Amino acid sequence: MQKTFNISLFLFFIISTISCKYGENCKTDNLPVFNEDSAFYYIEKQVSFGSRIPNTPAQDSCADFLQNKLLEFDANVIIQNTNVKRFDGEILNISNIIAEFYPEKERRILLFAHWDSRYFADLETDFEKKEKPILGANDGASGVAVLLEIARIISVQEPEVGIDIIFFDGEDQGQPLYMNIYDEKAWCLGVQYWGQNPHKENYDALYGIGLDMVGTPNATFSREDNSRFFNNPLVKKTWQIAVNLGYEEYFIEDLSKPILHDHVFVSQMTGIRSILIIDNNRNKAIPYFDNWHTHNDNLENIDKNTLKVVGQTLITLIYCQK
């Protein structure tokens, strides 16, 4: 009997540890509620400036909006302005917008998204349409919007850990797909600058999470290969939290091929092991959402439910982090 008791106790301990590791033990009843209407408004606002392309007035207006919002949420805001070369040699003025929340806290989480939109509609068939920049309501603005809503919540209710949010510029200005050349360094220009010039000396965080394309109806977030390479325990933990919240149709079991995105540079250049939450499906002809890199990537194709799913998952992760 004594032996059985000990085994039960042992099993209980193991199960508790696993639960804790994957976030099940965190009490989710009193967590802040992510407001999807607010996130949708932040997409609407970004899109209202037009395409956020470097060297355009829309970029300046959107940068002002993002900076002012973060200041309103009591963040310590740092703007990194620099010039980088596009793949064709054109000089782009870009700005990384960095917000520190509770900078005195040593244990920190880094969250990031790209705030530029693509200058070129690769997947339009009509050449005239191809040459015009896209609005990027989903590709760009949705990730930023979810993080802005998280920033608002963090400013109201203090988490145990400090949070840094970075809006990277120049992620989506790589060569057009039809050129059939692939230069990895032509993408993610803002994060590459930040990786060499961190906003703080010896900057470190427990881990990083990037968001992109988190606003289409019925999005599926499969477990992306680079994320699993850099931080598989965090992938498992995040996806388990989502499943516990009832979001298993969005955060799916499927694995997907590696994606070159800001999280790769963050992981490689700073050692902050980072993952990416992105709508992707390797079984489709176009690996992302249906309107990817077209002019239909607009407000009409954004679904508040998806914003909620991603936002509430991250809120749970943040407020359960000790």
Question: Binding mask 268-297 vs Zn ion (x if CB under 5 A, - otherwise)?
Answer: ------------------------------
Cα–Cα distance, 288 to 137 (Å, whole number): 14
Give dist(CA 19, CA 208) in Å, integer. 22
CA distances from 4 to 15, 107, 185 (A): 16, 40, 59
Q: Which residue, 169 or 212, is less far from Zn ion as judged by CB?
A: 212
CA atoms within 13 A on the CB side of 7: 4
238: left (phi over 0), alpha (psi -120 to 50) or beta: alpha
Instruction: Write out the two tokens for 49.
Output: 């400036």
Question: Rounded to the nearest whole angstrom, what is the least distance from the CB of residue 136 to Zn ion in the complex?
Answer: 7
Cβ(303)–Cβ(142) below 8 Å: no
For Zn ion, the closer CB: 210 or 311? 210
Q: Indicate the residue among 205 and 214 with the shorter CB distance to Zn ion.
A: 214
Which stretches does DSSP call E strand in 9-75?
none
Pairing outcome for strands 91-101 and 76-85: antiparallel
Judged by CB under 5 A, the residue of 36, 100, 116, 139 near Zn ion is 139
Q: Give the integer Cα–Cα distance in Å for 297 and 293.
A: 7
**Residue with Cβ nearer Zn ion (100 or 212):** 212
The region of 136-144, 149-157, 219-227, 293-301 touching Zn ion under the rule CB under 5 A is 136-144
224 binds Zn ion (CB under 5 A): no
Q: Tell me whether residue 139 or residue 164 sits nearer to Zn ion (CB atom).
A: 139
Q: How far apart are CA 272 and CA 186, in angstroms?
A: 22
Query: CB-wise, 114 or 152, nearer to Zn ion?
Result: 114
Q: How far is the CB of 167 from Zn ion (least distance, A)?
A: 12
Give the range of 134-142, 173-181, 191-199, 246-254 binding Zn ion by CB under 5 A. Answer: 134-142
Applying CB under 5 A, the site for Zn ion has a residue count of 2
Among 164, 212, 224, 297, binds Zn ion (CB under 5 A): 212
Q: Which residues bind Zn ion (CB under 5 A)?
A: 139, 212
